[in-house]
Amino acid sequence: MGYKHLKFPEGTVFLVTGAAGFIGSNLCEAILSLGYKVRGLDNFSNGRRENIEQLRQYENFSFIEGDITDPDTCLDACDGVDYVLNQAAWGSVPRSMKMPLVYNANNVSGTMNIFDAAYKKGVKRVVYASSSSVYGDSAVLPKVEGQEGRPISPYALTKKMDEEYADLYYRVFGLETIGLRYFNVFGRRQDPHSTYAAVIPIFVKNLLNDTPSVINGDGSQTRDFTYIENVIEMNLKSCLAPKEACGEAYNVAYGENTSLNQLYDKLCALLGKDIKPNYGPSRAGDIPHSLANIDKARRLVGYDPDYDINEGLELTIEWYKEFLK
Ligand SMILES: NC(=O)c1ccc[n+]([C@@H]2O[C@H](COP(=O)([O-])OP(=O)(O)OC[C@H]3O[C@@H](n4cnc5c(N)ncnc54)[C@H](O)[C@@H]3O)[C@@H](O)[C@H]2O)c1
């Protein structure tokens, strides 16, 4: 259960790329709270400087402002590191439809630079962010590792390519890699302001401002919303998992799905609001349903998520009430 009991050797050093972003900053904070050293790396293409400033209160935290598309930056960042948690990437399916070349450079070449630098610097293991989007046009539910369809967005293909390179670096060069296919992660510090913000931050921000949100499509599409604490648990357990778990990618989710209409109603109830949403056109590249089977992560990594969507939403809303004051 959870991750707070996990033990690493004293002085263990983690490199967290994308440290200024939503998931990266939460990983940094969790590891620093456990007493280990964290080196953060981010180019602030999407992350927030405030997230890094908050982390500077920990004496075990250091930060490199840099870009994973630069191989030398990755080599410097991996020097003396035990574990890399690679979160740096450009997210958003719709934005990737507009700029596929940028996504390839950033998400594929950038991640490959990290694998290559980690290999050259003798890093013990690289745990990297993949995505549920690799299931693409497969209609199979729940999503099970090994039953992927074809990618339906440039973003999805970049994550599939990352998994291919991770597999190659493991099989051919012996670099231990573990891929995490996150399913709609939510929680504190997820940015509600960007044009490409995720659905939960947008809905919460609008409800707190008494504004209706737009739901793309009819709201019947479902997602396996996953609270950030479960994602932290999976990252840290992946570092400690037996070697047999390496060279693989795992679903990281709670294992239950919720429609956007249900999500909206839950948020209205939690915030005590009665504001009807508006409906807009479906978004290209979006998949209709998403639900994870998490048996593989349970079996090989010992993942045992504590937080369901309801507990996660309650905690998240408390945070937004403070953050958006
Ligand atoms: N949030 C989700 O629901 C979700 C779902 C599936 C996969 N993922 C993946 O998880 C990872 C983290 O996502 P997030 O939600 O925290 O996104 P985020 O945008 O909040 O964080 C990503 C961070 O990476 C940084 N970054 C981007 N390109 C970089 C580069 N070239 N060099 C250095 N830093 C760079 C950004 O500035 C940002 O701070 C990403 O790889 C994303 O694709 C997230």
Cα of 247 from ligand 1 centre, angstroms: 21
Q: Kindly tell me if the per-residue pLDDT of 277 is higher than 80.
A: yes
Mean pLDDT of 218-241: 97
- The amino acid at residue 11 is G
Computed over every residue of the chain, the mean pLDDT equals: 96
174 CB-contact burial (10 Å; exposed 0-12 / middle 13-18 / buried 19+)? exposed
- Active-site hit among 83, 155, 169, 254: 155
pLDDT in tens, 38-97: 999 999 999 999 999 999 999 999 999 999 999 999 999 999 999 999 999 999 988 999
Asked whether the whole model's pTM tops 0.85, one would answer: yes
- Distance, CA of 220 to CA of 240 (rounded, Å): 38
CATH hierarchy code of domain 13-187+225-256+291-308: 3.40.50.720
Contact (Cβ atoms closer than 8 angstroms) between residue 250 and residue 180: yes
Lowest mean pLDDT among 106-110, 120-124, 173-177, 280-284: 280-284
Cα of 34 from ligand 1 centre, angstroms: 23
Mean pLDDT of 242-271: 97
pLDDT of residue 285: 65
Q: Please indicate whether residue 169 is annotated as part of the active site.
A: no
- Distance, CA of 27 to CA of 189 (rounded, Å): 12
pLDDT of residue 284: 72
State the residue for tokens 């994550």: 159
Atom of ligand 1 nearest to the CA of 25: 16
Lowest mean pLDDT among 17-26, 214-223, 282-291: 282-291
Q: Kindly tell me if the per-residue pLDDT of 116 is higher than 80.
A: yes
